[in-house]
Amino acid sequence: MKKSQLLSILSLALIIAFSFSSCSKDDPVPEIDQEEYDAAELEFVSLETINGELVETDESVVITFSPDGKSAPSHSHLTEGETYRLKVTLFHDGESINQEILDAGDEHQFFFVGAPDGVFDYRYEDQNVGLTGVLTVTGHSDAAFDWNIVLRHGLNKNHAAAQEWDSTDYVQAGGADDVNVTAELHVTATGEHDH
């Protein structure tokens, strides 16, 4: 066999081997973000205590966001001394994707940061995910403040930085943001005039 034919056969064999290896099953498959959202809604439903139970009333404050976080109202009011059920709903194409978040609850957690000290107390109602929780307004703010709502995905929920709902160090628990939006809130004193 001539040297040129041998080189041609070897070249062809290398090309074929490379083609098969580039199509191997070990190639990474791009991950589809199952929790991709195109709108988010915060609803603060006023609660009252009846026979020792917290019961939802017909009064609520609703804040709606687009993914860029710019469609929230400029100023929303909550009242000192009130208790609210905070409901977060994430939407994709007009449908709630909350069940997907709950189904992977060990991978997700909301953090609510930026309120002045002593204004809010919060308790998760859904195994430290944060789609529903009870927010008690324990103080008031002299002025409006930016309240940051963050949903982390893939964090270590056992990490010290993930133990508090208002942890400013939540990034240290790992993961990445699925949601990061800001609402401007003003917490008025009991009996204070809303403006």
Residue type, 174: G
Q: What is the CB neighbour count within 10 angstroms for residue 163?
A: 12
Q: What is d(CA 79, CA 30) in angstroms, rounded to the nearest whole number?
A: 46
Find the CATH number of the domain harbouring 55. Answer: 2.60.40
- Assess if residue 21 is contained within a domain: no
- Assess if residue 11 is contained within a domain: no
Mean pLDDT of the chain: 83
From residue 77, alpha-carbon distances to 129, 137, 147, 188 in Å are 24, 11, 12, 7
- Assess if residue 94 is contained within a domain: yes
Total count of domains within the chain: 1
pTM: 0.78
The whole-number pLDDT of residue 120 equals 97
- Assess if residue 173 is contained within a domain: no
- Token pair for residue 128? 């430290």
Q: Do residues 43 and 89 make contact, with C-beta atoms less than 8 angstroms apart? A: yes
Closest by Cα among 141, 134, 135 to 119: 141
102-136 residue pLDDT tens: 998 899 999 999 999 999 999 999 999 999 999 99
- Assess if residue 82 is contained within a domain: yes
Residue 118 structural domain:
39-149+179-188
